[in-house]
Structure 1
């Protein structure tokens, strides 16, 4: 067995939850580091997309949700709603370039067909555990089960991650993080507009 075969054997022996968590955390770290130069967060990116209508939301955009963007001069009142300022549009363009770069990294790693298969498989698993479009995802739980200090499910490293929401929502796979739903490349720039904050 050559080195590559040995590495593949070792990697595929890792549990499902490990790879969900690994992708989630590594992508979250990548975004955090990339957005740091703008002193911005993924939440800021989502809110900018919501304000300019790139993504639609059924949640009202209250002032307290936009407070940091207003303070920075990126968002201003426009009648009964909100609009991006010139500074806000410029910031959104810069952040969009960051998102595009991370999206390109994902595209280089897996083909469209592989991504479609992965998304379909994850959806089937989520539905098997009761997910549907009308039911909110459960909040992350801390400290349950006999392995509450670490993995939640013995040997599977979920620890409240994975099926959390943002794509699998939360981080990384976050359908709520970027325009669109998780890794679905059909939704505009980056990962498609997100939903929640």
Structure 2
């Protein structure tokens, strides 16, 4: 198990946000790699868990949300709801083995006590920023979408060919 005594870097030299992004991106990369053999994503994994009832649905499941899983033959309509097919249960079992491996990696990195402390601290920080159980997390901001500064608008910076050629058009 790795502990702070095993650490080879000064963990105070980088800001809190760096470590949050680092862990998130590295975990996302490991999930993507682990699920690639199935052609699946973390979203597919979450949906399989909702369909089989392991995780409650936050919103009703629709054919639009499930179309990838339906096309693969992993999910089918079942009365008023949805159910995993035999292929879907087998895929969920294979993906579950990959998830267990990733969870083991986390468990091997920190003690149970360190994990509990970390999760409690992160929850307190999230609540300080206004998070609660009823409010979905804000979506990731993408440049050029929504409100705010956009590339290509506003004053030009730097030089381009027009800075050295006569102006044509209006004014």
Q: Do Structure 1 and Structure 2 share a fold, with TM-score over 0.5?
A: yes
What interval of TM-score do these two structures reach, taking the shorter chain for normalisation?
0.7 to 0.9
Alignment of 1:146-157 (within 5 A): none
Q: Does 1:37 align with 2:37?
A: yes
Residue 70 of structure 1: CA displacement?
0.6
The Cα shift of 1:137 comes to 2.2
- Bigger mean CA offset, 86-95 vs 11-20: 11-20
Structure having the higher helix fraction is: 2
RMSD between aligned residues:
2.2
Q: Which has the higher contact order (CA 8 A, sep 6+)?
A: 1
Aligned pair in 2 of structure 1 residues 122, 87: CA closer, same or farther (>3 Å)?
Answer: same
Relative to structure 1, the CA distance from residue 13 to residue 59 in structure 2 (aligned partners, 3 Å threshold; closer, same or farther) is same
In structure 2, the partner of 1:174 is none
| Counterpart mapping for 1:163-178 below 5 A | none
Equivalent residue runs for 1:77-92 within 5 Å: 77-92=77-92
Taking a change above 3 Å as real, the CA distance of residues 5 and 29 of structure 1, as seen in their structure-2 partners, is closer
Deviation (angstroms), 1:123:
1.0
Would you identify which runs of 4 or more consecutive aligned residues in structure 1 move more than 4 Å?
Answer: none
Cα distance in 2 between the residues matched to 1:47 and 1:139: 18
SS of the equivalent of 1:45 reads: helix
Give matches, 1:61-72, under 5 Å: 61-72=61-72
- 5+ long unaligned stretches in structure 2: 145-149, 152-171
Are 2:34 and 1:13 equivalent residues in the alignment? no
- 1:121 maps to what in 2? 121
Matched residues, number: 142
Q: CA deviation at 1:105?
A: 0.4
Q: Does residue 1:111 correspond to 2:111, yes or no?
A: yes
Q: What TM-score comes out, normalization by structure 2 length?
A: 0.76
Question: Is 1:131 paired with 2:152?
Answer: no
Looking at structure 2, the residues matched to 123 and 20 of structure 1 have their Cα atoms a distance apart, in angstroms, of: 13
Aligned position for 1:159: none
Q: What TM-score comes out, normalization by structure 1 length?
A: 0.67
Structure 1 residue aligned with 2:23: 23
Partner of 1:48: 48
Larger radius of gyration: 2
Show the counterpart of 2:161: none
